[in-house]
């Protein structure tokens, strides 16, 4: 035999006590006062209204109590509103919000921006703006060989030379990492370690080795390098503008739509109730004084 569902809410004293506190989850509609301060505010406002209107009848006392109650709840609303806006400001300070405001959702960019926000990462000015402009001004598919880079992309050529000198490789060996062959192991020159500093490779030798690199390998290198440079440039720009952007986001931060909508509806209800009650009180006092 199926049990009939229980209707009408909790029946036990404990259940009723728990139920009576449910409304305090968000505080706005709680029937009881949420703190001694709030209760004191109610009594202070009630006394001030009583002194002002000098109620004579039960109905006048009732309306004054209702006014004091509504005013206290309006004050409660403003406290909740302030808290929601403060919370929205805190959330606006997150790296995710900053990146989103720039329309960026790349995982690696977001991770580095988060590291910066926590003081782990600083801006790395690896590339100048001129270098980045040079890269985006040339379509990798237009590269016909090393001669094209030598004649049209001096900053990229110089960067490749620097990388070669750091690792003591020629251009052909460095570019072998982007050859797309099954053998992913870069060709590395065998270096005999001595106390003497390795002799720097001359520009002529580097250019000569660059001429041996296949066009497809240079294109693969440029595409990979462009992606890395673009990400670095983007991260640097975000880090540079981070503080200013967070301030803008904080000043424009709003609670989420549903929460803000509930707040506005509740405030409107309280304001109408206050205005109506005040009108009724003034009307009764006016009738009494005729």
Q: Under 8 Å CB-to-CB from 154, ≥6 apart: which residues?
A: 134
Nearest by Cα to 169 from 137, 195, 197, 206: 206
pLDDT at 197: 55
pLDDT at 29: 56
Domain identity same for 218 and 275: no
- Residues in the chain predicted with pLDDT less than 70, given as ranges, are 1-31, 120-127, 180-199
pLDDT at 254: 74
pLDDT at 131: 85
Structural domain tally of the chain?
Answer: 2
Residue 102 lies in a domain: no
State the burial class of residue 89 (Cβ atoms within 10 Å of its Cβ: 0-12, 13-18, 19+): middle
Cβ atoms of 86 and 93 within 8 Å: the answer is no
Domain identity same for 240 and 137: yes
Residue 113 lies in a domain: no
pLDDT at 108: 75
Please give the residue range of the domain that contains residue 166: 126-244
Domain identity same for 196 and 222: yes
pLDDT at 255: 77
Both tokens assigned to 259 = 């929460």
Both tokens assigned to 288 = 């009494």
Domain identity same for 135 and 239: yes
Look at the block and give the residue holding tokens 């609670």. Answer: 255
Residue 250 lies in a domain: no
Domain identity same for 215 and 238: yes
Q: How far is CA 287 from the centre of its chain?
A: 59
Residue 55 lies in a domain: yes
pLDDT at 261: 85
Domain identity same for 132 and 223: yes
Residue 50 lies in a domain: yes
Domain identity same for 212 and 170: yes
What does the DSSP assignment read for 25-52?
GTSTT-SS-SSHHHHHHHHHHHHHHHHH
Domain identity same for 145 and 218: yes
pLDDT at 47: 95
Rounded to whole angstroms, the Cα distance separating 231 from 111 reads 12
Domain identity same for 43 and 82: yes
Domain identity same for 213 and 281: no
Domain identity same for 150 and 235: yes
Both tokens assigned to 233 = 């440039």
Look at the block and give the residue holding tokens 């006014």. Answer: 67
Predicted TM-score (pTM) of the model is 0.45
Residue 121 lies in a domain: no
Domain identity same for 279 and 179: no
What are the pLDDT digits (tens) for 87-116?
787 777 778 888 788 777 778 777 877 877
Residue 63 lies in a domain: yes
Residue 7 lies in a domain: no
pLDDT at 120: 66
């Amino acid at each position: 035999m199926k049990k009939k569902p229980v209707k009408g809410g909790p029946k036990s004293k404990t259940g009723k006590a728990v139920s009576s506190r449910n409304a305090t989850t968000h505080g706005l509609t709680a029937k009881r006062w949420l703190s001694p301060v709030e209760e004191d505010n109610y009594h202070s406002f009630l006394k001030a209204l009583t002194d002002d209107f000098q109620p004579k009848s039960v109905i006048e006392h009732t309306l004054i109590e209702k006014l004091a109650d509504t005013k206290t709840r309006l004050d409660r609303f403003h406290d909740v509103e302030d808290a929601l806006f403060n919370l929205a400001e805190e959330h606006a300070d997150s790296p995710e919000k900053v990146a989103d405001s720039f329309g960026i959702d790349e995982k690696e960019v977001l991770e580095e921006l988060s590291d910066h926000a926590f003081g782990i990462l600083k801006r790395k000015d690896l590339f100048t703006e001129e270098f980045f402009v040079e890269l985006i001004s040339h379509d990798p598919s237009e590269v016909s060989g090393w001669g094209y880079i030598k004649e049209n992309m001096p900053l990229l050529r110089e960067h490749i030379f620097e990388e070669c000198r750091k690792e003591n490789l020629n251009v052909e060996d460095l570019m072998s990492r982007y050859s797309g062959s099954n053998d992913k192991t870069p060709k590395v020159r065998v270096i005999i370690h001595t106390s003497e500093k390795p002799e720097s490779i001359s520009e002529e030798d580097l250019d000569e080795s660059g001429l041996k690199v296949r066009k497809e390998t240079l294109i693969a290198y440029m595409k990979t390098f462009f992606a890395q440079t673009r990400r670095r440039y983007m991260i640097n720009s975000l880090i540079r503008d981070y503080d200013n952007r967070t301030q803008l986001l904080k000043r424009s931060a709003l609670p989420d739509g549903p929460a803000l909508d509930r707040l506005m509806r509740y405030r409107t209800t309280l304001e109408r109730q206050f205005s109506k009650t005040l009108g009724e009180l003034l009307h009764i006092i006016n009738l009494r004084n005729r």
